[in-house]
């Protein structure tokens, strides 16, 4: 056990940490973050870190934004709580729903508010179940996610998530959740397979799965335009056109999970713009409030709304919603954040900065430890490998990604290691100089990791 500060000891004695290896945390202690400003966070000893992952892919406008803080304070004084159940509404919830309808591509009809990406994806599943029930297709219920897809941790969302670590020990996935291929060409292509052949094979696999299950039983397919928590997996350009054609052929709804890719992250306002997606519904969270308050949104198309409206005479209430659906402080903050995105041309500036970011990331392509560089806009990753030529991955127990992450932290950069993929997703408001600084620190850590794996004999000839 290393030395712990008093605060770290108190943490370990009182906080049950999410998504955490408890024994490792007990050994190392948590990084106590106590303050944030701009793109920087500070620990209890006032050490400064660039937040290269925007919190958990969410703090798009950075920390300590006065305008947002004042909005929250003013809303708390005006109306600290309101709900949307039954016959109630609030002016501020209406305003945000209107802003979203205007901003989000796809011509959605209504907006349902939740508090997290997980509950929004749970809403998606329930909404689609309900829709199929009221239109008389009670057997059309199965949901197809993808391996490495991440949709949150509530029971249904975790079931759509395609990673064993989020299923093991929780008796998940629930019945009726299936998974299809991860569109990671670098890792999953067969020997000699072109990108075109790869995406055709994946589309065929999806079609075969739908046919095997029976199209009349498959309700929806859920996908992130770019997988974030899967390790920043960018699909080949030909992937989504082929997948969308299959979904159309078998009347399977497409849920676009834009929790990470929404709001300017991929060089366009939404991932749907970047990949020309035509989803039936969309999930939004995180940057919807730049993480100043918890808030999520499900974008609902007219045909689903109409079906539920018509059915309500027989079915009665749509029995789904949260105490905090449309919480006034959350929606007021969301509304202000969208106003700032538009007024300050945040997405346009982020797109320009994204070009610089991608060029810097690409400069590591020749680094001896880097097998693949991938990303779009202001999200990206380098995947570290044991053999650059063959792309052979490090043994999963070797902890190379973790070592590299620790070196980044030592240089004052917070990133994320997903396996051995070193992920970055900085705030959209990062400056040119700050992007430069991120990569100075990132590069130092890569070099030190190369020394480490060489010393430890972890590279495979």
Return residues touching ligand PLP (CB under 6 A). Answer: 56, 116-118, 121, 150-152, 224, 228-229, 257, 259-260, 285
- The SS3 call for residue 161 is coil
CB of 107 to ligand PLP, least distance (A): 22
Cβ atoms within 10 Å, residue 201: 16
Element (H, E) at 234: none
Contacts 24+ apart (CB under 8 A), 385-388: 385/420, 386/453, 386/458, 386/459, 386/460, 387/459, 387/460, 387/461
User: How far, in Å, CA of 101 to CA of 209, rounded?
Assistant: 34
Residue 282 or 453 with smaller CB distance to ligand PLP: 282
Residue 150 or 254 with smaller CB distance to ligand PLP: 150
CB of 216 to ligand PLP, least distance (A): 28
Residue 158 or 400 with smaller CB distance to ligand PLP: 158
Residue 331 or 386 with smaller CB distance to ligand PLP: 331
Residue 228 or 377 with smaller CB distance to ligand PLP: 228
Residue 259 or 422 with smaller CB distance to ligand PLP: 259
User: Closest residue to ligand PLP, Cβ-based?
Assistant: 117
What are the angstrom distances between the C-alpha of 386 and each of 211, 364, 374? 39, 15, 18
Residue 181 or 257 with smaller CB distance to ligand PLP: 257
Residue 33 or 56 with smaller CB distance to ligand PLP: 56
User: How far, in Å, CA of 52 to CA of 439, rounded?
Assistant: 10
Asked if 419 contacts 400 with a C-beta cutoff of 8 angstroms, the reply is no
CB of 138 to ligand PLP, least distance (A): 27
Residue 268 in tokens: 């366009």
User: How far, in Å, CA of 24 to CA of 17, rounded?
Assistant: 12
Q: Is the peptide bond before 173 cis (omega within 30 degrees of 0)?
A: yes
CB of 321 to ligand PLP, least distance (A): 17
User: How far, in Å, CA of 243 to CA of 255, rounded?
Assistant: 12
Q: Residues 433, 434, 436, 437: is their CA dihedral positive or negative?
A: positive
User: How far, in Å, CA of 284 to CA of 161, rounded?
Assistant: 16
CB of 162 to ligand PLP, least distance (A): 12
CB of 334 to ligand PLP, least distance (A): 14
Residue 371 or 427 with smaller CB distance to ligand PLP: 427
CB of 346 to ligand PLP, least distance (A): 20
CB of 420 to ligand PLP, least distance (A): 19
CB of 293 to ligand PLP, least distance (A): 12
Asked if 385 contacts 449 with a C-beta cutoff of 8 angstroms, the reply is no
- The SS3 call for residue 173 is coil
């Amino acid at each position: 056990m290393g030395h712990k500060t008093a605060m770290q000891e108190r943490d370990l004695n009182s906080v049950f940490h999410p998504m955490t290896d408890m024994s490792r945390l007990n050994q190392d202690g948590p990084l106590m973050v106590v303050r944030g400003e701009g793109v920087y966070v500070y620990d209890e000893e006032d050490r400064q870190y660039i937040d290269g992952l925007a919190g958990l892919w969410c703090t798009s406008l950075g920390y300590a934004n006065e305008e947002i803080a004042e909005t929250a304070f003013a809303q708390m004084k005006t109306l600290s709580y309101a709900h949307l159940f039954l016959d109630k509404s609030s002016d501020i919830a209406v305003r945000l729903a209107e802003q979203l309808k205007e901003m989000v591509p796809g011509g959605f009809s209504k907006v349902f508010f939740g508090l997290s990406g997980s509950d929004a994806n749970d809403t998606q599943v329930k909404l689609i179940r309900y829709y199929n029930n009221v239109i008389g297709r009670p057997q059309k219920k199965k949901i197809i996610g993808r391996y490495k897809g991440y949709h949150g941790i509530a029971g249904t969302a975790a079931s759509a998530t395609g990673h064993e670590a989020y299923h093991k020990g929780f008796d998940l996935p629930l019945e009726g959740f299936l998974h299809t291929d991860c569109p990671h060409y670098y890792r999953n292509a067969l020997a000699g397979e072109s990108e075109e052949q790869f995406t055709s094979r994946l589309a065929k696999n999806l079609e075969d799965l739908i046919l095997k299950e029976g199209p009349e039983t498959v309700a929806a397919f859920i996908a992130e335009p770019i997988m974030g928590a899967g390790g920043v997996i960018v699909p080949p350009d030909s992937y989504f056109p082929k997948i969308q054609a299959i979904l159309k052929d078998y009347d399977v709804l497409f849920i676009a999970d834009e929790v990470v890719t929404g709001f300017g992250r991929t060089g366009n306002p939404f991932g749907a713009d970047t990949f020309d997606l035509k989803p039936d519904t969309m999930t939004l969270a995180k940057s919807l409030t730049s993480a100043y308050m918890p808030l999520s949104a499900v974008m609902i198309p007219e045909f689903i709304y109409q079906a539920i409206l018509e059915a309500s005479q027989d079915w009665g209430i749509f029995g789904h919603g949260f105490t905090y659906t449309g919480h006034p402080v959350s929606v007021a903050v969301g509304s202000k954040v969208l106003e700032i995105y538009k007024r300050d041309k945040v997405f346009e500036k982020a797109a320009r900065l994204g070009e610089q970011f991608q060029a810097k990331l690409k400069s590591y392509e020749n680094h001896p430890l880097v097998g693949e560089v991938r990303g779009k806009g202001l999200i990206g990753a380098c995947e570290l490998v044991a053999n650059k030529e063959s792309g052979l991955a490090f043994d999963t127990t070797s902890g190379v990604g973790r070592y590299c992450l620790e070196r980044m932290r030592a240089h004052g950069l917070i990133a994320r290691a997903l396996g051995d993929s070193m992920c970055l997703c900085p705030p959209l408001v990062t400056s040119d100089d700050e992007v430069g600084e991120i990569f100075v620190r990132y590069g130092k850590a890569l070099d030190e990791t190369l020394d480490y794996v060489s010393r430890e004999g972890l590279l495979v000839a």
